[in-house]
Every structure is written in structure tokens, then in C-alpha cells.
Structure 1
Amino acid sequence: MPRFAANLSMLYPEHAFLDRFAAAAADGFQAVEYLFPYEHSAAEIRTRLDAAGLTQVLFNAPPGDWAAGERGLAALPGREAECRAGIDRALEYAAVLGNRLVHVMAGLLPTGVDGARARDTYLGNLAHAAEQAAKAGVTILIEPINPRDMPGYFLNRQDDAQAIRQAIGASNLKVQFDCYHCQIVEGDVSKTFERDFAGIGHVQIAGVPDRHEPDLGELHYPYLFERFDALGYDGWIGCEYRPRGDTSAGLEWLRKLKA
């Protein structure tokens, strides 16, 4: 059976961020992920992880000015120095927190910048990120995100992400397979996962189309979990969804699966 990590950016919104670690552990999670750790010191988060007996799986490199609407820097020409400084900062946190996965967000395609120039910038920044991460034993992830939730995001499709991974050719550059985004953009989730399996470094789930618990909507996750197991996926699966109500009550899907 797959191993599930609580995404603390979405789950347990009824708690302050640092209190979500204990809440996740109380519900039986053994690992966590989230968007960004940078509002807290790495040492402070490490203390919460250790107290709750949790494994840190994943977080994102700094995305630029998130509050102002920025969603990553890697494909933005002229922001290379900021992007690469962010990679360094993410790796500093990863060294303390122990995770071996860091997601680098591409960003929103700037007005007036053609896709080819943005792609060249993206490849250059990702090659640099993978080179630096390799020294620390870290894998860099890229994630296609659907344009309904994030209009203008540079990377939308799994096949495009895999082509970028192959063009760079770094063994520690992988694709983050978010079933929610894949279903919205491409569909055919099971076959797409099977096709790209060798290049997938992490999996995330949510119900489609409303991004609630994975037992709601148009994807039948018990079947997908069986397929992931059959293919030999042994990584964590991030529960990156918005609970309809109380997070713990909404985990009935996971309790049934474990039973």
C-alpha cells in the first residue's frame, strides 16, 4: 500500500502551521510536505518534526514574491540570480530538515516574453539547480500545474515536463506527478503515469474537480494506488487537497484504505 504524507499547507488549516505537525502525527501520518518553510527557522521546524516523529518529504524553493502573485522564478528571464540564490537557501533548509526532494516552480510566463526564451531560461536554471542539489544528495522536482488553478503558469503538461527532464539529462531531476493537475489538463492518469514512470520523483493527490478529499470526484484512487504499487512506486504520496471540513474527520478515506 502507498505511503501517505500530509501536506501541511492545505491540511489542518484549523491549526497554526507549527502545530500541524503534531496534528498530522496524531492522525497516523508518518511524513509531511508543504509549500514553503521560510517563515520559520529550519531548527524550529526540525524540532517539530522530531517531537512528532515525522519524516520531512518535500518543500518548494523560494517562489519570488508569493503574496504579490509570483509563482516561481525558474522560467523568468532576468531573475536568474534570485532563482539560484533561492536554490541555495532551499538546500540549506533541506540539510537541516532531512528531505531529499525540492520542488522548483517555473513561474508565470511574463507578458511580452516568448515561450522559447522562457524555456531556455528554465533549462539553464534547472541544470544549475540539479548540479547544486547533486552535491547534497537532493533531487530537484518540476511540476506541471493546470492553467485553471494557476493561469499563465509556464509548465502544464506531463509530457512537456518529461521532455525538459530528458533535455537536461540530470539523474537527480524528476517530475512531480500531481494526479489532480494531470486529470484536469490531460486525463488518462493511469496510462500517463505508466508511460512516464521512470522519470517520476513524487506523487500528489486530490479529488477532481474541487480539490477536496480523494474519495470525491472523477478519479478512482483505489485503482490508481493499485497501479502505483504494481509499477513499483515506493515513494511518498502527498495529500495536497483542501478538506471540506475538519481535516481529521475527512480522513475517513485513509482509515478505510488502511483497514
Structure 2
Amino acid sequence: MAKFAANLSMLFTELPFLDRFEAAAKAGFQGVEYLFPYDYSAAEIKQRLQAHGLVQVLHNLPAGDWEAGERGIACHPERIEEFRAGVDTAIEYATALGCRQVNCLAGIVPEGVSQAQAQRTLVDNLRYAAGRLETAGILLLAEPINTRDIPGFFLHHTEQALALFDEVASDNLKLQYDIYHMQIMEGDLAPTMERHLSRIAHVQLADNPGRHEPGTGEIHYPFLFQHLDRIGYRGWIGCEYKPATTTQEGLGWLDSVRAIATK
């Protein structure tokens, strides 16, 4: 059975960020992920990971001005140097935290930039990041995201992402497959994950509509969890959802998964 990681950017948000590590461990999560570690020192975060026996599963490369609505800069032709500096920062943190993979958010295509320009920039940036991260022993991921929640986001379909990865031509670049985003954009979840299993290094989940916990929407998660086991997925599943009430009250789905696994 795959292991579940709490996304601390969305779960336990009633607590200060550094206190969420303890809450995740107490809830039974083995690992954690989140958007960014960069507002804190690596030493602070490492202490929380070690104190609570957690694995740092994933964080993102620096992604521009998040508060201003930026969602990545990897497709921005005028910000290549900023992107590359961010790769160095991500390597520093990931190395200190024992994090074996980082995700690149492609970003929203800037006004005045063509799709072709954005793609050329993204391919070049991914090739650069994949090489630098490989040297550091860290896997690079990239993630398609739905354009309903983030209009204009460049990378938004599985096949589009994999074709772009072929152009990058690096063995150190894999797909982060977010079930919620891909349900919105293309559906056909189980066959897609099976067809591209060898290229998927990380899975994230939330239900649709609402982006709440499994069992609150249309996605049949009991089937998908069994399917992932059957096809041999052994990576982490990041729980990147917005609790419908509180994180703790909404964890019944995880208890059910564990109960099935122990039978």
C-alpha cells in the first residue's frame, strides 16, 4: 500500500506552520509535504521532522510572488536567472531536509508571451533544473494543474506534460500526478495512471467538486487506492485537500484505508 503524506499547506492550518508537523504525526501520517519551506530555516524544519519521525516527501521550487498570485515562473522568459537561483535554493533546503524530490510549478503564461515562447522557456528551465538536481541526488517533478482554479496555467494535461518531458530528455524528470486536477481536466484517472505508471513519481489527492477530502465528491477513492496497489504504485500519496470542516474531523477516510490494509 502507498504511504500518505500530509500537505501542511492545506491540513492543520489552524496551527502555526511549525506546529503542524506534530499534528500530522499524531494523526498517523508518515511523511509531510507543503508548498515552500523558504520562510523558515532548514534547521527549524529539520528539528520538527526528526522530533516527530516524519519524512520530508516533497516541496516546490521557489515560484515567484505567491501572495501576488504568481504560481511559478518556469515558463517566464524574462525570469530565467531568478528561476535558476531558485533551483540552488531548493537544493540547499532539500539536501538539509533529506527531501528526495522537488516539484516545479510551470506558472501562468505572462501577458505578451506566446505559447511557443513559454514552452521553449519551460523546456530549457526543466532541463537545467533536472541536471542540477540530479547532481545533488534529487528528483525533479512537474505537475499539470487545472485551468479552472488557475486560469492560464501552462501545464494542464498529462499527455501535454509527458510530450514536453520527452523534449527535455532527462531521466531525472518525472510526473507529479494530481488526481483532483486531472479529474477536472481529463478524467479517465485509473487508465491514465496505469498507462503512465513508469513516469509517475508522486501522486496527490483531493475530491471534486470542492477539493475536500476523499469521500466528499464524485471520485471513487476506494477503487483508486486498490487500483494503485494493483498496478504497483509504491510512491507517496500527498493529501493536498481543503478539509470540509477541520482536518481531524475529516480523517475518517484515512482510518478506513488503514483498516482495509490491516485485514
Q: What TM-score bracket applies, with the shorter chain setting the length?
A: over 0.9
Percent identical among aligned pairs is 55
Map Cα deviations across residues 58-117 of structure 1 (whole Å, 9 max, x no partner). Answer: 000100111111111110011000000001100100000011110011111011111001
Unaligned runs of 5+ in 1: none
Q: Does 1:255 align with 2:255?
A: yes
Question: TM-score, normalized by length of structure 1?
Answer: 0.99
**Cα offset, 1:164, TM superposition:** 1.1
Partner Cα separation in structure 1 for residue 63 and residue 92 of structure 2: 16
Unaligned runs of 5+ in 2: none
**Cα offset, 1:169, TM superposition:** 1.6
Equivalent pairs, count: 259
Aligned to 1:195: 195
CA contact (8 A) 1:177 1:203 kept: yes
Equivalent runs, 1:40-189 vs 2, <5 Å: 40-189=40-189
CA contact (8 A) 1:75 1:107 kept: yes
Question: Per the alignment, in what secondary structure is the counterpart of residue 203 of structure 2?
Answer: strand
Question: What is the root-mean-square deviation of aligned Cα atoms in Å?
Answer: 0.7
Partner Cα separation in structure 1 for residue 195 and residue 149 of structure 2: 25
Question: Per the alignment, in what secondary structure is the counterpart of residue 149 of structure 2?
Answer: coil
State the one-letter code of the partner of 1:175: L
CA contact (8 A) 1:162 1:196 kept: no
State the one-letter code of the partner of 2:246: D
Aligned to 2:17: 17
Question: Per the alignment, in what secondary structure is the counterpart of residue 249 of structure 1?
Answer: coil
**Cα offset, 1:224, TM superposition:** 0.8
Partner Cα separation in structure 2 for residue 199 and residue 258 of structure 1: 27
Question: TM-score, normalized by length of structure 2?
Answer: 0.97
**Cα offset, 1:256, TM superposition:** 1.3
Aligned to 1:218: 218
Partner Cα separation in structure 2 for residue 164 and residue 197 of structure 1: 17
Aligned to 2:31: 31
State the one-letter code of the partner of 1:232: G
**Cα offset, 1:57, TM superposition:** 0.2
